[in-house]
Every structure is written in structure tokens, then in C-alpha cells.
Amino acid sequence: MKILILAIVIGMIGCQTPMRRNTPPSPSKPETERPTPSTPANPTPEVEDGRPVMDDNLAPDEVEVENKPPKPVPRLPKVGVIFGPGGGKVFGQIGVLQEFQKNKIPIYNVAGIEMGALTASIYAWRGSANDTEWQMFKIKGEDILKKGLILSKRAGDFDVIQNIVKSAFHNLKAEDFKKPFACPALNLEKNKMYVMNRGNLEALLPYCIPYPPLFKPYQKNISAVREVKALADHLRKQGANYIVLINVLGGSAFKTPINDSDSVENLVWAEISSQMVKESSHVDYTITVNLDSYSVLDFENKRDMMQKGSSQANRAVRDLAEKLGL
């Protein structure tokens, strides 16, 4: 009997599931031991058969670049303004100036290209949008065009604008202005660009403003219409730390062409319009005004262009004021 009981007990013990022991987890390997893919210091393009793989959707002269973060806004902004080229369209710049004045954005220094040099110089004299409007509205379209492209099929002399300059500045020098002023001139004989910023305005502006089809070269000098970067650098050297470009060549250059769409003059200004878009990379902020309903030869619709400049720039200038903390 004892033997039977003992056999039953042993059988019951053998049928029980053995208990699992709680063993501490094995320590994981430190991160430093994990293999990581090596990353080259400078990323290289994908290669196929030893040649870079090109995106078929890119034109030959296009390059993909990573978006750079916006430049930080200076704590104490000193705003420099570049008034771009545009012939008669520069009346739109007066409207933009009015928006600056409404939003109390202080302008530290200015520069102007082609007819934009006239707008910039008049503003620099007293720093007033109202004075700029008053002086610029003295320009009469029939006076500019009667010797120019419309009737004589060639660019006119600078004499007409010179009369406006004499009337506005009364022998003033650029050094006497309330705001520092500069404009670029290209000497065709020497193939050299000069930034003009000193001397009598009657002697200085004829080097910076002439450009076809409005005016023929002055002593072999024309406006250096593509020198936005040079002007931005100049304004910064003078102390400006935030550069704004006013571009009145927005829209299509073929909507209201000079002569006809395929004329040399119209194609030149179409290229300048395209160049202004590229040159905007050299400034901190661009205000673009679309005046493509008007020709660069239009000096009759001054008020309409000024009002459109104001209405179109309203939002952009308010955004600029907020960006500058004003």
C-alpha cells in the first residue's frame, strides 16, 4: 500500500509544469556600438554609370537649391530703398512712397535706376512723398516724347528732364539732401559702371537716367539698369541694414508694348523686367507693382499709375512694417 501511495505522489510531481525563473534582462548594447551609415560631409548627386542623374523636368540652366531660412530682421532697422527702372511707370513708385509714409516706415537712404533715379533723388531731397509727387507731376508727356521715339523714331535728348531737375533742385548737391542718394551709370566707352552719389544734381543725373527709347546716351553714358546688387551693396556700406526694391515692371511686357511686341525696344524692356525678378535675390524685400496696362513711354496717366502703385503696395508695405516691428 505504501508503495502504491508513493508511486502516485511521484507521478503527480512529474506532471507539474516547471516554474520559470525570473532572470534579469540582458543589458542592451550601447548606442555607440550600433553600426550607423556614414554620411558624407558634402552631399553628392546620384550617379548612374558614373554620370550624375539629372531631373528631366529641369531646364539645362536650372538648378535645384534648398530653401534657405529668411534673413533675420535687424533690431534697429535702417531701411534702404532702391527705385527700379520703368520709364513713365515710375509714377507708381510715388504711390508706394505714400504707403511707406502712412505706415511710418523710416527710410535711411535711397538709390534709383533710370527714371527711378529721378524719383529717388526728389524724395532724398526732403524725405517727403508729397514733395516727390508735386515735383514729378511737372513732367509733361508731350515734352518728353516730341523729340523721342514716337515722332522721330529715335531716343531724345535729356534737355526736357534737365529743366525739371533745375526747377526742383536749384543747384543743390547730393551731399545736401536729407537722405543719402545714389544712382548707377554705365560708361559705354570704358564698359565700366559708376555709382554716382556726389556733386550737383544737374551734372549728376544726366549720367544715370538716359536709356532707350526715351533718351539717348549722355556723353556715352546710360543708366546701368541691371545693377541692383551694386546699389544694394552701396546702401549697406552707407549704413542701411535692410534693403527694399520697388519694382514697377511687374506683369507682362507684351500687354502694352513699345511700338510692337517684336520691336527691339520692347524686347529689351522685356528682358529688363525679367532681370528685375532675378535681381530681387540681392535685396531683403521686394515690392512689385503690376503696371502692364501702361507703356514705359506713358507720361499722361501719371495719377492712375500713382494710385495703382499705392493700392497694390498697400498689403506688402503693411507686411513690411510688421516684419520690421513698426
How much is the pLDDT for 69?
Answer: 54
For residues 225-237, average pLDDT = 97
What are all long-range contacts of 129-137, with beta carbons under 8 Å and residues at least 24 apart? 129/94, 129/97, 129/98, 129/100, 129/101, 132/94, 132/97, 133/94, 133/98, 133/306, 135/164, 135/167, 135/168, 136/90, 136/91, 136/94, 136/302, 137/302
Cell numbers for 19 = 516554474
Q: What's the whole-model pTM score? A: 0.75
Selection from 323, 267, 313 nearest residue 100 by Cα: 313
Strand, helix or coil at 118? helix
In terms of average pLDDT, the best of 91-95, 143-147, 263-267 is: 91-95
Cell numbers for 215 = 533718351
Residue-wise pLDDT tens digits, 130-180: 999 999 998 877 767 664 444 444 556 677 778 778 877 888 899 999 999
Selection from 282, 321, 312, 250 nearest residue 85 by Cα: 250
Cβ atoms of 265 and 259 closer than 8 Å: yes
Lowest mean pLDDT: which of 49-58, 160-169, 177-186? 49-58
Is 73's pLDDT higher than 60? yes
What residue segments make up the domains of the chain, in order of their start?
A: 79-324
Chain centroid, CA 244 distance in Å: 7
Residue-wise pLDDT tens digits, 280-289: 999 999 999 9
Contacts of 12 (CB under 8 A, 6+ apart): none
CATH fold for domain 79-324: Cytosolic phospholipase A2 catalytic domain (3.40.1090)
How much is the pLDDT for 256?
Answer: 81
How much is the pLDDT for 161?
Answer: 76
Is 21's pLDDT higher than 80? no
Residue-wise pLDDT tens digits, 190-206: 999 999 999 999 999 99
How much is the pLDDT for 265?
Answer: 86
Higher pLDDT, 262 or 287: 287
How much is the pLDDT for 88?
Answer: 94
